[in-house]
Structure 1
Amino acid sequence: MGYEGEAWLGIDLGTQSVRVLLAAADGTVLGAGSAPLAGMRDGVRHEQDPGEWWTALCTACRGALKDVEDPAARIGGLAVCGTSGTVLLTDAAGRPVSPALMYDDGRAWAEAERLRSAGLTVQNTWGLPKALWLLRTHGRGRVTHQPDLVAAQLVGRPVPTDSSHALKTAYDVEREAWPDIPGVPELPDVVRPGTPLGEVCPAAAQATGIPAGTPVIAGMTDGCAAQIASGALRPGSWNSVLGTTLVLKGASAEPVRDPTGVVYNHRAPDGSWLPGGASSVGAGVLTAAFAGADPAAMDARAAAHEPSGAVAYPLVSPGERFPFLAPHASALVLGEPDGEADLWAALLQGVAFAERLCLDYLHHLGAPMDGPLTFTGGGARSPYWNQLRADILGRPARVPEQTEPALGMAALAAHGTGSGPLTDVADRMVRIHTVLAPRPGRTALFAEPYTRLVDELAARGWLPPPVAAHARERLGRDTAGS
């Protein structure tokens, strides 16, 4: 394959696969490769064998580079993202000495309780409680985040972690320091995303096909990587990632303060802030309730049920994290849906109601909301659902052509190797495929079921009354307004 100018590799260590993209400066994908990953799930336990990450990475890299002519002259650098909160222990040489506890492993609840009693705002599935659990159950070791292990194998030695992955290990991104908490082990050195970590060593080059000497740049979490790939990096911009669950990530000149810890702030390479939160509502409920269904066919049938006869808060799993913290919350359906199509409609609308409530909560906290909204994730492949969400939110939305986290890491690698501010690099790489506008009258059509849902969430004690009142007060406005 021939092309002009440099290109960059983005590597995404996902839950089910490793994905690698080679992207040019204008966002053109020049090569792509992937390899599957296996995991072990049992109740709240979710582990992966960290040795499989490297094996899968080698396969995915060779797939991405197989048609590239003279990669040594073309690849300007690479960056790696991983799942947020995934940790393991390594020895002094950087080799794994424990399994990897994945982002949603929930066994460290006792450690999390102890940390919260010491004054830290952490959730049970965050990295620091899990690191303490690993140290208690597996003995000594160096606390390591998922991409740190792969970056170390690429450069041939242990590397610092990046502040984005360190956030859920309780790194203070404002002070740029670890907290001083008794009983917490020594934690790794930390650098900002976009910082050079080293160069691909000869052994890694032979295994992966990436040219020796390629700069390796400190990455960010997969959620931040997807945000970069959406182009939502200027203050007031937001990216709504609808996959199995729903994640909202935005950009702000200042941190968005949330005393409950529901919304937390990553720090961008330039020192600005990327606030966001992760809900347990999402498209996973469709798979659970309608196994084997044809989504496009169900969407077509659901269009006759606007609004649905039922109102849903479609949690994928028990407990909610955003837009409110309710560990014991459960999925709910108000009313009786009129058959399968109406239930499908209720679930689609329920996710959009949760999405609106997330935006209302962010507005309640004082987050800037006046920039563009971008839809990404698997749910954004549905044209019907995209339009429905724009209608319920009452605001325009954009859908990019390419939204993989690996593209975001290619952009970060370009920034880290001197191609300019990350906002400008992303503007050049991100291509908008569709722009949606809410249809006249549709936002008002969904006001009553949204109010019913807000009232029910408040009545159950899950949604704080001031947040519920703010959501009701904003009913007559779009979610970008003041």
Structure 2
Amino acid sequence: MPGLGIIGVDIGTSLTKAVVFDESGMSIAQASTPSEVHHLPGGLVEQDLEQVLGTVATVVREVVAGLDTPVTALALTGQGDGLWLRDAAGAQVRPAISWLDGRANALLAKWQADGVTREVFSRTGSGMFPGCTAAIMSFLDAHESESLDRAVVAGYCVDAVVQRLTGEITVDVSDASLPFLDPATRHYSEQAIDACGLSHRRSLFAEPAEPKAVFRLNADGAALLGLPAGLPVTAGPFDLPASAIGAGVRAPGDGILTAGTTLACQVLTDSPVFDPEGEPAGMFLSTPTAGEFLRAMPAMVGTASIDWVCRLLGIEVAEIGGLLAAAPPGAGGVRALPFLSNSGERAPFVDASARAQFAGLSLESGRAEVVRALCESIAYAARHCFEAAGLSGRLYACGGGVRSPEWTQIFADVLGRPIVIPGDPGVGARGAVIVAAESLGVPVDVELWAANSRTVEYRPGDAEFYQQGYADYQASLSAARGLWRL
């Protein structure tokens, strides 16, 4: 089939991907290249905007070189949260601060004690964690105010790239949701901004773009990418809602599990109403469609935990599947809590001091038991997130973690429901392209695009076994939360 001519670019934390799809939603050209993530002492995690822009140029030029049809548009998505400070020309005034960053750990703990997180949550439905824009900005305001003084815009990854490619200062409504957007009005809550002590920095927040906004590649962007000036560019939604759209989430109650660097659990809802007295965690995301929202619980316990256990045990990621198969459900009595991030946890609860643990180890425990215990604990965390998000319908899944059949089966068994896996892994880029096509008036059969998938059924016997395992996980988590300290 011929391609749509729209290049979807997903600017992830560690990898940038470009994909071109045919009219049935299958990729016909793709390219990827790594981004540099700088882990610095004290839990600091930063990225360089110029290097990230270079990755975008690399993948776009590579896919264009392999196409025999003209490019009609560029559709961008990418990582959310963090803080990408720029000047009027789009140049960074300091390195971007990643959503993985932990410099605001103590500040977040203070906000929790002082009721700031509760106040913001009650107005926006979004919790805060150390790597969110509000916490990082407040930290810089106190400790590095000159960076904020030099900045013209405080934004996110996708809009930072858009500014450099088009000259426009903008932000997608999904990114703007975090954490200051009132989902009912799709405008910022001034009270939430004031609660974080950032009213004097209000001018740094770009107003959310209108739905179906289309920008144009300027001369500098065209030169960088090797594409014609004036090419249409769409910006967002960011990677979590883009993946939901790309995977096929359509009906309220349906959800998606993204087993990537973040273990993102999202559920679609048609109501902007949330419980202001609930746990102040997760995100309430506005989507490109008016009247549709995503209740997102993006836990910090994704595939980065697998990378850690591989380094610890001296194994390759490719060995994970065999080790999971070598240990039975329950991992021979070994149990884990998976909270390995330096910035703790952000969903379905927020605690900057959250840390991992293993229990039930003995001299008979080996690599297989340790790996399986960790993977089971991440699946338990997913169940915890989906219970908080209100999953009631069909469940989709994507991300590097579901490339492992063994781990995907554990997710299905722990969640006790079938999991639909899209046939093409580039669901974030696919979602961005669907949004771009709708914005440009290009017909797309979204049901056809979602049809190419497979379903992993859960095993009733193992699902019953994991009921007790999940109860044990919850008990261990409750006990551990009373012992964590920064």
Distance 1:328 1:440, change over 3 A: same
Distance 1:425 1:167, change over 3 A: farther
- In structure 2, the residue corresponding to 1:89 is in which secondary structure? strand
- In structure 2, the residue corresponding to 1:233 is in which secondary structure? coil
Distance 1:202 1:329, change over 3 A: closer
Query: Could you tell me which residue of structure 1 aligns to residue 372 of structure 2?
Result: 345
Q: Write the distance in 1 (CA, Å) between the matches of 2:77 and 2:116.
A: 31
- In structure 1, the residue corresponding to 2:203 is in which secondary structure? coil
Q: Is the 8 A contact 1:193 1:217 kept in 2?
A: no
The superposition leaves residues 198-231 of structure 1 with CA deviations (integer Å, 9 ceiling, x where unpaired) of: 2223442233123333211231222222222222
Indicate the percent of aligned positions where both proteins have the same amino acid: 27
Alignment of 1:330 onto 2:355 = yes
Q: Write the distance in 1 (CA, Å) between the matches of 2:454 and 2:2.
A: 28
Query: Could you tell me which residue of structure 1 aligns to residue 303 of structure 2?
Result: 283
Q: CA deviation at 1:77?
A: 2.3
The amino acid across from 2:463 in the alignment is T
- In structure 1, the residue corresponding to 2:45 is in which secondary structure? strand
- 1:212-223 alignment to 2 at 5 Å? 212-223=229-240
Query: Could you tell me which residue of structure 1 aligns to residue 329 of structure 2?
Result: 306
Alignment of 1:232 onto 2:259 = no
Query: Could you tell me which residue of structure 2 aligns to residue 79 of structure 1?
Result: 75
Query: If the length of structure 2 is used for normalisation, what is the TM-score?
Result: 0.84
Q: 1:451 pairs with 471, 474, 479, which one?
A: 471
- In structure 1, the residue corresponding to 2:383 is in which secondary structure? helix
The amino acid across from 1:383 in the alignment is P
- In structure 1, the residue corresponding to 2:438 is in which secondary structure? helix
Q: 2:421 pairs with 399, 405, 408, which one?
A: 399
Query: Could you tell me which residue of structure 1 aligns to residue 134 of structure 2?
Result: 128
Distance 1:296 1:93, change over 3 A: closer
Q: CA deviation at 1:443?
A: 1.1
Alignment of 1:250 onto 2:267 = yes
Distance 1:199 1:267, change over 3 A: same
Query: Could you tell me which residue of structure 2 aligns to residue 145 of structure 1?
Result: 156
Q: Write the distance in 2 (CA, Å) between the matches of 1:41 and 1:326.
A: 21
Q: Write the distance in 1 (CA, Å) between the matches of 2:211 and 2:349.
A: 32
Q: 2:439 pairs with 393, 405, 416, which one?
A: 416
Q: Is the 8 A contact 1:245 1:316 kept in 2?
A: no
Distance 1:92 1:370, change over 3 A: same
Q: Write the distance in 1 (CA, Å) between the matches of 2:359 and 2:238.
A: 36
The superposition leaves residues 314-333 of structure 1 with CA deviations (integer Å, 9 ceiling, x where unpaired) of: 22225222222333222122
Q: Is the 8 A contact 1:19 1:60 kept in 2?
A: yes
* Greater mean deviation of Cα atoms: 159-168 or 254-263: 254-263
- In structure 1, the residue corresponding to 2:336 is in which secondary structure? strand
Q: Write the distance in 2 (CA, Å) between the matches of 1:116 and 1:87.
A: 23
Q: CA deviation at 1:462?
A: 6.2
Distance 1:375 1:132, change over 3 A: same
More helix by share: 2
RMSD: 2.6
Query: Could you tell me which residue of structure 2 aligns to residue 317 of structure 1?
Result: 341
Distance 1:32 1:5, change over 3 A: closer
The amino acid across from 2:60 in the alignment is C
The amino acid across from 1:361 in the alignment is A
The amino acid across from 1:62 in the alignment is R
Q: Write the distance in 2 (CA, Å) between the matches of 1:7 and 1:96.
A: 31
Q: CA deviation at 1:233?
A: 3.3
Query: Could you tell me which residue of structure 1 aligns to residue 226 of structure 2?
Result: 209
Query: Could you tell me which residue of structure 2 aligns to residue 4 of structure 1?
Result: 2
Q: Write the distance in 2 (CA, Å) between the matches of 1:457 and 1:144.
A: 34
- 1:4-153 alignment to 2 at 5 Å? 4=2, 6-42=4-40, 43-71=42-70, 75-109=71-105, 113=110, 117=116, 119-121=119-121, 122-134=128-140, 136-138=145-147, 139-142=149-152, 143-153=154-164
Q: CA deviation at 1:133?
A: 4.1
- In structure 2, the residue corresponding to 1:370 is in which secondary structure? coil
Q: CA deviation at 1:389?
A: 1.7
Q: Is the 8 A contact 1:325 1:462 kept in 2?
A: no
Q: Write the distance in 1 (CA, Å) between the matches of 2:310 and 2:458.
A: 28
- Structure 1: which 5+ runs fail to align? 464-482
The amino acid across from 1:218 in the alignment is A
Q: CA deviation at 1:62?
A: 0.5
The amino acid across from 2:175 in the alignment is H
Query: If the length of structure 1 is used for normalisation, what is the TM-score?
Result: 0.85
- In structure 1, the residue corresponding to 2:67 is in which secondary structure? coil
- 1:183-202 alignment to 2 at 5 Å? 183-192=200-209, 194-202=211-219
Q: Write the distance in 2 (CA, Å) between the matches of 1:425 and 1:154.
A: 29
Q: Is the 8 A contact 1:375 1:397 kept in 2?
A: yes
> What number of residue pairs does the alignment pair up?
449
